[in-house]
Amino acid sequence: MPAATAFERHHADVRERLRVANVSRSGPGSVSWKINREIIVVAGWGRAILLQLAHPLVAAGVDAHSSFRGSLRASFGRLCGTVGAMLSLTFGDEEEAISTAARINVIHDRVSGRLGSPAGTYPAGAAYSAHEAELLRWVHATLLDSIPLTYELLVGPLTAEEKERYCVEAAVMEPLLDIPAGLLPRNSTALDAYIREVPGSGRIAVTGGGRALARAILFPPRWRLLWPAFRPVQLITIGLLPPALRDAYGFRWTARDARSLARWTIFLKLVLRLMPACARQWPSARRRPGRQAGGSAAPRRDTPVALP
């Protein structure tokens, strides 16, 4: 099916699912806006992505269909595309969100295949698809777990009620990505239980491909040229990973690393406190509510699987 035709079909499907869904998009004053408007929370995406890649089927899909590995320029370009999608889904008007979701679904149409070798509970030849609800659920949960964690580390505390609301507000991803209603966690208790349950089920197993992708994400070629940007992200990503997964990826974590993370945390929190909101928050988070913007019909490559 031509890309434009697929986009139009998905665009109509997303609009209809949003119309009938028992969820609504968040707006100014929501917890989603409070958290996602802070540019610094992007530092938590590395942890979320490594949690995602610990799932063999997710890692196989990314390895076969994404451009994670490449030059520093390619890595930066992918990050910009991911950020753009997140901003549209969170802060854009309904038309922007629908168009972005449609582009993601177009990309998901072509992300399918089979596992090359056994991993965890999955035999060689196990099929995967980016439309598979359980994979989307895992990807979504890793972001729900990692982004508030990073916010609290670098920006400030969140109340228990705010964490609950963040889960509820993020459930809008169900109609956007055609996830069965009620599948995504609606509260912190359900999220924590799910994050613990999946690794214990055998469905999490870091593969050789997953390790290579993790290295490519955190240590792309010539990353030292941007050392002040990469080093805190590397420390936050590796330091906040569950120890068992950190070991599975082959990352060493020493007392010296822990002290470095603590120093970077203090430094970044101080810098953020001194910065005006206009410098530390995404400009799109300060747009007037109700601003209209149309969506492009051309699907991009490398849009992320899901974002709250």
Q: What is the dihedral of CA 110, 114, 116, 119, to 10 degrees?
A: 110
Whether 260 is in a domain gets the answer yes
Whether 73 is in a domain gets the answer yes
What's at 52, amino acid-wise?
A: Q
- Cβ-based neighbours of 19, under 8 Å, separated by 6 or more: none
Out of 22-36, 57-71, 254-268, the most confident range is 254-268
Whether 80 is in a domain gets the answer yes
- Cβ-based neighbours of 258, under 8 Å, separated by 6 or more: 239
pLDDT on residue 106: 96
Calpha distance 146→144 (Å, rounded): 6
Asked if residue 308 has pLDDT above 60, the reply is no
Whether 296 is in a domain gets the answer no
Whether 249 is in a domain gets the answer yes
Whether 293 is in a domain gets the answer no
Task: Say if residue 136 is exposed, middle or buried (CB neighbours under 10 Å; 0-12, 13-18, 19+).
Answer: buried
Instruction: Please tell me the total count of domains within the chain.
Output: 1
Calpha distance 179→171 (Å, rounded): 10
Q: Among residues 286, 300, 229, which one has the least CA distance to residue 42?
A: 229
Asked if residue 294 has pLDDT above 90, the reply is no
CB 169 within 8 A of CB 26: yes
Confidence bin at 296 (pLDDT 50/70/90): very low
pLDDT on residue 66: 78
Asked if residue 4 has pLDDT above 80, the reply is no
What's at 218, amino acid-wise?
A: L
pLDDT on residue 162: 98
pLDDT on residue 295: 38
- Cβ-based neighbours of 199, under 8 Å, separated by 6 or more: 54, 242, 244, 245
CB 72 within 8 A of CB 307: no
Mean pLDDT score, 68-95: 82
Whether 160 is in a domain gets the answer yes
Whether 145 is in a domain gets the answer yes
pLDDT on residue 24: 84
Confidence bin at 305 (pLDDT 50/70/90): very low
Average pLDDT, the chain: 90
pLDDT on residue 71: 66
Q: What is the dihedral of CA 234, 235, 237, 239, to 10 degrees?
A: 150
pLDDT on residue 189: 96
Confidence bin at 52 (pLDDT 50/70/90): very high
Asked if residue 289 has pLDDT above 60, the reply is no
Confidence bin at 300 (pLDDT 50/70/90): very low
pLDDT on residue 1: 63
Which of 63-77, 165-179, 258-272 bottoms out in mean pLDDT, i.e. has the lowest? 63-77
Dihedral sign, CA of 285, 286, 292, 297?
negative
Confidence bin at 275 (pLDDT 50/70/90): very high
Asked if residue 126 has pLDDT above 60, the reply is yes
Helix axes 208-218, 227-240, angle to 10 degrees: 140
CB 109 within 8 A of CB 21: no
Phi then psi for 145, rounded to 5 degrees?
A: -80, -40
Distance of CA 227 to the CA centre of its chain: 23
- For 180, the domain range is 3-115+128-280
Helix axes 56-65, 133-154, angle to 10 degrees: 90
pTM: 0.90
Calpha distance 138→143 (Å, rounded): 9
